[in-house]
Amino acid sequence: MNPMLALRQYQKVNAHAQTSEANPHRLVQMLMEAGLDRIAQAKGAIGRKDIPAKGVLIGKAIEIVGGLREGLDMEKSADTLTRVDNLYIYMMQRLAEANIKSDPLILDEVSSLLGTVKEGWDAIAAH
User: To 10 degrees, what angle do helices 24-48 and 79-101 make?
Assistant: 20
Number of domains in the chain: 1
75 found inside a domain: yes
- pTM across the whole model: 0.82
103 found inside a domain: yes
Please write the tens of the pLDDT for every residue from 80-107.
Answer: 889 999 999 999 999 999 999 999 999 9
Please write the tens of the pLDDT for every residue from 15-60.
Answer: 555 556 678 889 999 999 999 999 999 999 999 999 999 999 999 9
102 found inside a domain: yes
* Separation CA 6–CA 102 (nearest Å): 31
**Domain that includes residue 37, residue range:** 25-119
